[in-house]
Amino acid sequence: MSRALVKIGGIVGAAVIATSLVAGCGSSGDTIKIGAIAGLTGNFITEEVVKTAGRVFDDVNDAGGIGGKKIEYIVKDDAGNPQRTAQVARELADDGVVAMAGSGSFTDCDVNDAFYRQQKISSVMAVGASPKCYQSPNIAPVNVGPFTLITAELLFASETLGNQKVCNFTVVLPGSEQAVNDAIGQWEKISGKKLVVNDTTVQQSGDLTPYLLKAKQAGCDAVLFNPGEQLVVPFLKAAQTQGMSDVDFLLLAPAYTESVAKAVGGLGLKVYAGSEFEPFTAASDANKGWKDAVTRAGAQPTAFSQGGYLAARFVVDVLKSIKGDITRESVNEALRSMQPISNPMVGTPFIFGPGERHAPNQASKMVELKDSAWVPLGDFITVPTSS
Amino acid sequence: MLQLSAAIAGLVTGGAYALMGLSTLLTYRLVSVVNFAQAAVGAFGAFAMVILYEEGWPLVLAVPAGMIVGAALHCGLGAIMVRWFAESSEGVKAAVTIAVYTGLVAVGLRLFGAQHPHRFPSPFDDPAFTLGGVVVTWTAIVTMVLAVVFAAAPAFLLRRTKIGLLLRAQAERPTTAELIGVRVPRLSMIVWGVAGAASSLAIMIIAPQLASDFGSQAALITPALAAVLIGAFRSFPVTLLGGLALGVLQGLASTWQAVQQFRGVLPFVVILVVLVWTRRGDRWDEPA
């Protein structure tokens, strides 16, 4: 009886050891797992972001990987749905990712910040959209983000264009009102000016003409408007109807797309947008590497895809600097002790660092709409940091 | 002054609300279904039109094609209603349309793209005249005229014509109507089709001036239902006025500091006020 038990125990023990060896070789041993969350379906599609980042990782793998190990890039679709965002982050953690790179989800920071802290997962985001993305010890987006961009664009209006009556109309998403007000406060401090109209109550529904009438009545010579394409197009069309061709319209990065250029290019309005990076429509040397990657990835070239490219590149550089095993701990250590990485696509160097919050990118270029195409304007506008 | 201009600007949105509201009321009055999917069906037709237009079809062909898509889709929904839910209560039917609405939005977002909205042609974009500092476009006038037609035609049809009589009979007592020889299913299908085509046309006209993505268009059902509620789910002219009033109210709200951030929820407030007002008798007139 006891002999049989020993026998069985021996077989079971051997089996356990064998499977764990096989499993060990199959998963963490061979590849470096990097995760990303993006909207592949649903309301916010950021497919081009992860496709471009994936291309960068594939190139690294084709060149032999990092220390002989291949990068396994695991992209999960959150469909723009917060529940899914939370769920896929847990799936990625269970998969054993060493870090996140190139995420392009608008709910990721708000939903998963606490989880990333708890699991000690660092995320180099491609597109940070909510204030949380810039206030976490575990997240560092490579893009400027909507808040610093507001300050940069207001500076562009008051300093470069010399506008006297600057007005702001923003759609405020839940939880970001403070960040928007801080960004405006920052501009007021630097420029010593005040907004003539500051309306942060713009709704995503209904006709936008009443807001334009308000701007007209206040005599605004510059109007900042933050939403994406689906609202920017009717807004500018209504502005044209109301004859506001002498006003400078300043849009944020989500409106800097080919389809907006096509839709409102012929309206005869003065339209500018912040590009977050080296403008993606610029045929500059700075864009060469990204352009090549995004083309070979078969993805749409957008400012967001630049974010995906940069996030992947920065993470690869950091991984290459690691001596020894690449684990969650060693990646975290490397990110926190890294040297700043300069890239001509961004105005300020990227650094993760040990801080409690990360907003490494503080500079944006502007683009102007001319003949249904976005034309890059001037140099990076760097927001002087005060905090 | 700003209030006046904002109110005038609000008339355009109001026209849009009225159009959608009247399509919804048409469906309700003729086939007794509170159709939450009405705007989503309309958006489907409108987006079908845009895609054909972008493919190079001329507008005169793309618009009817889009209306046919809307009509076909609405007939599909109608077939479900007639076949399986003809004898169900209004609550059950409404619940079914809510499920259909959710499904249509999911499919619509997938089919028509959310990130890069389509460019709706706006042939009536030229300014018509200036009133109170607001430049009014031909779109506004077309919307208004169409809204009046939408309000007048069904009212006339129901009250003055034989087919209207049959439709009323069918809406109120479908089984009885069928027993006395009214071809209820066939008549219903015609109504579903017409209402679907009308919604598609309505969305096509108002899409260029509102957020032009599928989700926003489908969400027009909320102000539309508020307008229908003002018309007590009966009156076409009052629904028209209700829709216009709602638009004007939203325009005004954007100039009024204290309420401007609640502009988006105004339809719900209106729904609430109307419900309380119409139901006041139920409670207050009861003997103590």
User: In chain B, what residues touch A226 (CB-CB under 8 Å)?
Assistant: none
Nearest to A330 by CA among A67, A108, A111: A67
Query: What is the token pair recorded at B229?
Result: 């509620």
User: In chain B, what residues touch A237 (CB-CB under 8 Å)?
Assistant: 122, 125, 208-209
Burial of A376 (0-12, 13-18, 19+ CB in 10 A): middle
Q: What is the pLDDT of residues A327-336, one digit of tens each?
A: 999 999 999 9
Mutate: best of B206, B213, B254, partner A, most A CBs <10 A: B254
DSSP symbol at A361: -
**What pLDDT sits at residue A80?**
82
**What pLDDT sits at residue A15?**
54
pLDDT at A323 over 60: yes
**Mean pLDDT, each 10-residue run in order, chain B (288 residues):** 82 89 91 92 94 92 95 94 85 93 89 74 83 84 90 88 85 82 83 92 86 85 92 92 91 78 79 82 60
Cβ–Cβ under 8 Å, residues A104 and A39 = yes
Give yes or no for A324 touching B (CB within 8 A).
no
User: In chain B, what residues touch A234 (CB-CB under 8 Å)?
Assistant: 208-212
| Residue A322 φ/ψ, nearest 5 degrees | -80, 130
Mutate: best of B17, B116, B249, B268, partner A, most A CBs <10 A: B116
pLDDT at A22 over 60: no
**What pLDDT sits at residue A24?**
40
pLDDT at A225 over 70: yes
pLDDT at A256 over 80: yes
**What pLDDT sits at residue B98?**
94
pTM summary value: 0.83
Terminal-residue alpha carbon distance, chain B? 49
Rg of chain B over all Cα atoms, to the nearest angstrom: 19
Nearest Cα residue in chain A from B223: A206
Collapsing DSSP to helix, strand or coil, B253 comes out as: helix
The mean pLDDT of A183-203, rounded to a whole number, is 91
pLDDT at A238 over 50: yes
CB contact under 8 A, A207 and B5: no
If contacts are CB pairs under 8 Å, which of residues 90-119 in chain B contact chain A?
A: 109-110, 113-117, 119
> Could you please report the per-residue DSSP string of A67-117?
TTBEEEEEEEE-TT-HHHHHHHHHHHHHHT-SEEES-B-SSHHHHHHHHHH
Q: What is the pLDDT of residues A56-106, one digit of tens each?
A: 999 999 999 998 999 999 999 998 889 999 999 999 999 999 999 999 998
CA distance linking residue B22 with residue B155, whole number of Å: 11
CA distance linking residue B253 with residue A206, whole number of Å: 12
Place of tokens 């200036």: B130
Q: What percent of chain A has pLDDT over 70?
A: 91
Buried b (16+ CB within 10 A) or exposed e, B170-199: bbeebeebbeeebebeebbbbbbbbbbbbb
Give yes or no for B6 touching A (CB within 8 A).
yes
CB contact under 8 A, A231 and B211: yes
Buried b (16+ CB within 10 A) or exposed e, B255-284: beeebbbebbebbeebbeebeeeeeeeeee
**What pLDDT sits at residue B210?**
82
The mean pLDDT of A217-234, rounded to a whole number, is 90
Q: Which of A207, A214, A241 sits opposite B210 (nearest CB)?
A: A207
The band of A9, judged by pLDDT with boundaries at 50, 70 and 90, is low
Q: Which of A206, A233, A257 sits opposite B263 (nearest CB)?
A: A206
Task: Look at A186-190, A381-385, B264-268, B269-273 and tell me which has the smallest mean pLDDT.
Answer: B264-268
The mean pLDDT of A15-32, rounded to a whole number, is 54
Pairing verdict, β A373-382 and A363-370: antiparallel
The band of A191, judged by pLDDT with boundaries at 50, 70 and 90, is very high
Q: Which of A201, A211, A234 sits opposite B261 (nearest CB)?
A: A201
**What pLDDT sits at residue B285?**
58
Give yes or no for A181 touching B (CB within 8 A).
no
Task: Look at A121-135, A311-325, A329-343, B128-142 and tell me which has the smallest mean pLDDT.
Answer: B128-142
User: In chain B, what residues touch A257 (CB-CB under 8 Å)?
Assistant: 116
The band of A6, judged by pLDDT with boundaries at 50, 70 and 90, is low
User: In chain A, what residues touch B115 (CB-CB under 8 Å)?
Assistant: 44-46, 229
Nearest Cα residue in chain B from A239: B135
**What pLDDT sits at residue A21?**
45
**What pLDDT sits at residue B48?**
94
If contacts are CB pairs under 8 Å, which of residues 294-313 in chain A contact chain B?
A: none
The mean pLDDT of A275-294, rounded to a whole number, is 93
Nearest Cα residue in chain A from B254: A210
Length of chain B: 288
Quote helix, strand, coil % in chain A, to nearest 5: 45, 20, 35
If contacts are CB pairs under 8 Å, which of residues 197-216 in chain B contact chain A?
A: 208-213, 215-216
CA distance linking residue A372 with residue A365, whole number of Å: 19
Query: What is the token pair recorded at B29?
Result: 């009055």
